Amino acid sequence: MVRGVATDRVSSILCRLPLKKRLSVRTVTTDLSSAMMLTVRRAFPAAKLINDRFHVQRLMSEAVDQLRIHYRWEVLDAENQAIRAHRQKKKAARNRQERDEIGKWEPERMDNGETLPQILSRSRYIILKHWSKWNEQQAARATILFDRFPRLLQGYSLCMKLTEIFNKKSNPDEARLNLAKWYNEVEKFDCMEFNKVLDTFSNHNTTIINYFEERLTNASAESFNAKIKAFRSQLRGVSDVKFFMFRLAKLYA
């Protein structure tokens, strides 16, 4: 166990292993951390580096969510302006009868009974999963959302298309062609958040394509890390590190 993820510290400890053993490592799967990838290259020079597909997909999902947040702020701003305009109109009324006729401000309700800000707020988890996994309520909400914001539908479709490329059992050459076509579609979409994803693809193209040769992920490591975090949260922090490590070894080793 190494404290922290600093490249110099981690690689120096890994390099204590005999070179022959380190050269026997053929593949290493990591996230998109440049520090972690540098550590792997230093410690395991013969290993093929693979960027975990789920971290790559999460970048795209986050870009779609940022677009949703952008629209949510726009809708909230429009709603606040409508409320202010209603108040001013009511304040400018000459008598009580006119004020009663104006009445209270009521937000626009969609077909499912929710307001647009509510739909945008409650759609966070909808756009992070495949449409086939939506329940009836989520599907109705998504229909209204994408009808009002077609650009959000485009972004969501591009995200799902990337997932389908990773799910398809294709060879590296076929995957490279599919990703190139997808890349061109995202470029045409021309959204700042999505362009940042394209920059990541450009910088890590080889290590992303390597997934299609070995089809390996670090899902097991991520699952173990989640278990450790859950265990630590139950203890409300750790003061005795040695005893904590002892308990982890007894539970999960």
Q: What is the 3-state secondary structure (H, E, C) of 151-208?
A: HHHHHHHHHHHHHHHHHCCCCHHHHHHHHHHHHHHHHHHCCHHHHHHHHHHHHCHHHH
pLDDT recorded at residue 105: 82
| pLDDT at res. 253 | 65
Q: Residue 1 has what pLDDT?
A: 65
| Residue tagged 């966070």 (tokens) | 124
Tell how strand 27-30 and strand 48-51 pair up.
Answer: parallel
Query: Contact, 171 vs 160, CB < 8 A?
Result: no
Question: Vertex 148, ends 147 and 153: CA angle to 5°?
Answer: 60
From residue 69, alpha-carbon distances to 24, 72, 75, 161, 222 in Å are: 46, 5, 10, 21, 27
Q: For position 220, what pLDDT does the model report?
A: 82
Contact predicate 35/7, CB 8 Å: yes
What integer pLDDT is reported at residue 107 of this predicted model? 87
Structure tokens at 150: 């077609």
pLDDT interval class at 34 (50, 70, 90): confident
Out of 102-106, 122-126, 163-167, which region has the weakest mean confidence (pLDDT)? 102-106
Lowest mean pLDDT among 13-27, 146-160, 232-246: 232-246
Residue 142: pLDDT above 80?
A: yes
Q: List pLDDT tens digits, range 35-84.
A: 889 999 999 999 999 999 999 999 999 999 999 999 999 999 999 999 99
How are the residues of the chain apportioned to helix, strand and coil, as percentages rounded to the nearest 5?
A: 70, 5, 25
Q: Per-residue pLDDT tens for 75-102?
A: 999 999 999 988 888 888 778 777 777 7
**95 phi, psi to nearest 5 deg:** -150, 175
